[in-house]
Amino acid sequence: MLKNKNAYDEYAVVMKDVSKIYRLKQKGKKQGNQQFYALKGIDFKIKKGDCVGILGTNGSGKSTLSMILAGISDHDGGEMIVNGEQALIAINTGLNAQLTGEENIELKGALLGLKKKEVEKIKQGVIEFAELGDFLYQPVKKYSSGMKSRLGFSISLALNPDIFIVDEALSVGDKGFAQKCMKRMQKLRDEEGKTIFFISHALSQVKSFCHTGMWIEGGELKELGDINTVCEHYSAYVDAYNALSEKEKKQQRDTKFEKRIIKTKK
Ligand SMILES: Nc1ncnc2c1ncn2[C@@H]1O[C@H](COP(=O)(O)OP(=O)(O)OP(=O)(O)O)[C@@H](O)[C@H]1O
């Protein structure tokens, strides 16, 4: 139990035995009876101002974790303390495709209960950072994925939260925009004391940008520590997997999957 929540003031996020369960459809059955741990027993404490690289193979639970961190998705078990406002920056999340870029900003402002003046300030911030020109007044469904990323990133920046969760959002931006975002994020990290969770499969980028590494594998926290050490162990794990025969790979995948299934009676 996370008693005396004040004892965790120095932390941006604390998770204790957090899990997330999804119901899975089974082949040939109308109603599946399988429940699946997207995350299981996640325990960690991340200090305010830390910059955390989240690593893990496809389907390991990184995006699920990022949505729980951002308060967009609920967790099914365990406890969590978040000290500060969070913003998730991800591809295709947080934007309403039917609305224009400008209307999306207004909607976000309304949801957060912001005053008109504050919303105008955010609009200005987005106009300057996103460089979308007149596309800001077009429906988001007409945006390319890079443009959506520009809008999402710029809105989050302008909202100025304490905790940024960046889930693969830079992978669709062009080189110029990705560099601009990295520069801005360096400033958030070094000068503004923000807490950043950074999810990317670009290992060298994660290594050079983050201080702490969090490796999620098969829905569980495999390692938390210095970014270089965690990257090294993760790379070795991926290399070892790649060296397996196809049969061994399948066996490993099946075992990993089995461990995440909760068998329930019909
Ligand atoms: N809504 C859902 N319903 C059922 N299963 C889901 C749902 N969302 C995610 N999952 C499953 O949960 C697991 C974790 O998914 P998640 O998207 O968190 O992985 P990830 O580590 O972000 O993967 P990637 O590197 O491919 O982006 C996967 O097996 C995925 O299929």
Ligand 1 contact, 61 CB (< 6 A) = yes
26 pLDDT above the threshold of 80: no
Rounded to two decimals, the ipTM of the complex is 0.97
Rounded Cα–Cα distance for residues 121 and 99 (Å): 19
Report yes or no on whether pTM surpasses 0.80: yes
208 pLDDT above the threshold of 60: yes
The rounded percent of the chain whose pLDDT value lies above 90 is 71
Q: What is the mean pLDDT of residues 107-123?
A: 91
Query: How much is the pLDDT for 169?
Result: 76
Ligand 1 contact, 63 CB (< 6 A) = yes
Ligand 1 contact, 34 CB (< 6 A) = no
Asked: is 51-72+85-263 a CATH 3.10.129.10 domain? The reply is no
- The residues near 94 (Cβ < 8 Å, ≥ 6 apart) are 72, 88, 108, 152, 155
Q: What is the mean pLDDT of residues 150-171?
A: 89
**Ligand 1 binding pocket mutation candidate from 34, 60, 92, 171 (most atoms within 8 A of CB):** 60
**Ligand 1 binding pocket mutation candidate from 21, 24, 57, 62 (most atoms within 8 A of CB):** 62
Query: How much is the pLDDT for 112?
Result: 85
- The pLDDT-based confidence of 90 (bands split at 50, 70, 90) is confident
Rounded Cα–Cα distance for residues 66 and 55 (Å): 12
CA 120, 100, 96, 195 dihedral sign is: negative
> Which has more pLDDT, 213 or 113?
213
> Which has more pLDDT, 170 or 12?
12
Q: Which residues pair with 195 in a beta bridge?
A: 163
| Cα(167) to centroid(ligand 1), Å | 13
Ligand 1 contact, 64 CB (< 6 A) = yes
**pLDDT tens-digit series, residues 37-78:** 999 999 999 999 999 999 999 999 999 999 999 999 999 999
**pLDDT tens-digit series, residues 177-187:** 888 999 999 99
Q: Among 64, 59, 36, 42, which Cα is nearest to 258's?
A: 36
Return the DSSP state at 144: -
Q: Which residues pair with 100 in a beta bridge?
A: 139
- The residues near 253 (Cβ < 8 Å, ≥ 6 apart) are none
**Ligand 1 binding pocket mutation candidate from 18, 19, 20, 22 (most atoms within 8 A of CB):** 22
Rounded Cα–Cα distance for residues 234 and 241 (Å): 11
Rounded Cα–Cα distance for residues 40 and 208 (Å): 29
Ligand 1 contact, 260 CB (< 6 A) = no
Ligand 1 contact, 38 CB (< 6 A) = yes
> What type of residue is 130?
A
- The pLDDT-based confidence of 232 (bands split at 50, 70, 90) is very high
157 pLDDT above the threshold of 60: yes
